[in-house]
Chains A and B, each alone.
Chain A
């Protein structure tokens, strides 16, 4: 059974750094792209970008380019979403999503709530 398991909720202050994770299991981790999706409180889904775990090639949405960084550690089948300096406006639920076809998502993580508040 394919599973994506994300790290837990985080509470951070503005200006702090953060890395959240998404661990894949039940499939060969390097064969499916990992896409990151943001959901602001009470709002819709936003496509942030994706990473190819086989070679760490990335596509970022223009709205997120330069604000976040995607990475992977193939040895532990884990993808990461990272911020170097959080803002209050980064408060949201972040999902990782994946599947055999890079265009759409059969599998989703459970979501990770990130709260940024002073």
Chain B
């Protein structure tokens, strides 16, 4: 089955930039989406269609795409950004989530 691969963890100091990658063979042909999940909460959409930001999501969240890899960038990381992040895309069966990345703010 189709897989989207993310690094298990990323650590970053407050105010610095966190970059989370997501790799998948079909990503050049499909949009990617990103979700933030804080402990004990439901996921929240933070990026859609590779680089679009939903209303209410801070400008420090941005997305980009290059070939088989998409990237979520958090600029000027804040303590509240500590969470798990998942990429998501479509496949022949409907959809697939990435393996997830835990962002730790040092």
Task: Please state if A47 and B97 are interface contacts (CB–CB under 8 Å).
Answer: yes
Q: A-facing mask of B89-106, CB < 8 A → 1, else 0?
A: 010011111111000000
- In the complex, how many residues of chain B place their beta carbon closer than 8 angstroms to a beta carbon of chain A? 23
Nearest CB to that of A108 among chain B residues? B42
Asked if A45 meets B42 with Cβ closer than 8 Å, knowing A50-B94, A103-B33, A104-B33, the reply is no
> Is A95 an interface residue, CB under 8 A from the partner?
yes
Contact present for B86 and A105 (CB under 8 Å): no
For residue A107, give the distance in angstroms from its CB to the closest CB of chain B: 9
Determine the residue in chain A with the shortest Cβ distance to B34.
A104
In the complex, A60→B92 CA distance in Å?
11
Q: A104 to B45, alpha carbons, bound, how many Å?
A: 8
Which residues in B have some Cβ–Cβ distance to A below 8 Å?
A: 1, 31, 33, 35, 37, 42-45, 48, 54, 84, 86, 88, 90, 93-100
